[in-house]
Amino acid sequence: MVIDGGTDEALRQGVLGWGGMKERPLTGRELKGRVLGALRSDDKAQGLAELAELPARQVVSPLFSFFCSTDPTVRWRAVTAMGVVMTTLASADMEAARVIMRRMIWQLNEESGGIGWGIPEAMGETMARHEGLAEEYAHMLLSYIQEDGNFLEHVPLQRGVLWGLGRLAQARPSLVEKATRDIETFLSAEDAQLRGLAAWILGLVGAQGTRPRLESLTTDGAEVLLYLDWREERCTVSELASQALAALGGTPS
């Protein structure tokens, strides 16, 4: 279960075509409907290509709204789409992308009055796709699991942060490796999703020192959901721990 951080040629061409079509401006409802239709496509390349026909800056707000969708498939695909849009914006106007990153960070601030659903995931997806934004903002995503940082107490948000860190680790493991000890603490979390995500990340960053604790999870049959490449997959904590051990160059003793 590995996400391909790149895109195929057809998708690449679609991304490069953001906002290239000249047609009458869409109403807000029409725009949101077009975005939703693209997110509901089971063909990832097709869905993102449909989004690529829309003005990138105008797609951002609908994507933010879909982070709160009651349909988990729509919510997760909005995360992926946001990463693609942010990469396109950053390539054309880095400051515009920074403004949106700061908006995400603000939404995770208690003073914002919001909850921040989908925000850590979108940050991780964006930084996995764009090196410049990763270099500037990875430390903020890490801070959300650090006791001396901006630690988030709410379990659903912790899940989002760990998924975001895992996504970032797939592309840029060195940026996540520095938080190995903080991630390791989640291996003993009461929440199975947190245990599984932590194991997943530790395998991605090659955290050899966590092998004993990962081995202790190879009998943990709790079920978790892991979003990978446009779909959620069911697996167990045990499977993720064993996968991590395999990545570290060994199997459970």
pLDDT at 229 over 50: yes
* pLDDT confidence tier of residue 26, bands split at 50, 70 and 90: confident
Quote the pLDDT of residue 250: 61
The residue whose two tokens read 């410049």 is 132
Quote the pLDDT of residue 7: 40
What does the domain layout of the chain look like in residue ranges? Answer: 189-253
pLDDT at 119 over 50: yes
Average pLDDT for residues 157-182, to the nearest whole number?
A: 98
Neighbours of 26 (CB within 10 A): 15
pLDDT at 167 over 80: yes
Quote the pLDDT of residue 115: 83
3-state secondary structure at position 229? coil
CB 44 within 8 A of CB 84: no
Three-state DSSP string of 2-20: CCCCCCCHHHHHHHHCCCC
Mean pLDDT of the chain: 91
For residue 63, give both structure tokens. Answer: 């994507």
